[in-house]
């Protein structure tokens, strides 16, 4: 990768060299994400309960508790 970078600074790269440099860059990027994923797999998602509770509370807040229809209040499971 370093060789291709250096060559690209001096002259134009051949199409095959550009493809090779792109592939090497993609592989390097993929490999850089491996430690993070391994850490997540080993430790698990410690925030699952937090996010579940947060979404449950939002669902409750967004629910219709009472509605007025033609001067009549309707609430609970009748809605």
What tokens does 31 get? Answer: 């490999």
Q: Tell me, what's the pLDDT at 65?
A: 73
Kindly provide the b/e burial profile for residues 30-49, where b requires at least 16 CB atoms within 10 angstroms of the residue's own CB: eeeeeeeeeeeeeeeeeeee
> Tens of pLDDT along 12-35?
989 999 899 899 888 888 887 788
pLDDT at 44 over 70: no
User: pTM score > 0.85 for this model?
Assistant: no
Average per-residue pLDDT for the chain? 78
pLDDT at 6 over 60: yes
């Amino acid at each position: 990768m370093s060789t291709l970078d250096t060559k690209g600074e001096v002259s134009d790269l051949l199409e095959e060299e550009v493809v090779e440099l792109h592939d090497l860059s993609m592989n390097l990027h993929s490999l850089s994400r491996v430690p993070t994923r391994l850490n997540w797999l080993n430790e698990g998602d410690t925030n699952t309960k937090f996010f579940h509770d947060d979404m449950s509370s939002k669902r409750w807040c967004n629910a219709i508790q009472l509605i007025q229809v033609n001067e009549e209040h309707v609430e609970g499971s009748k809605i």
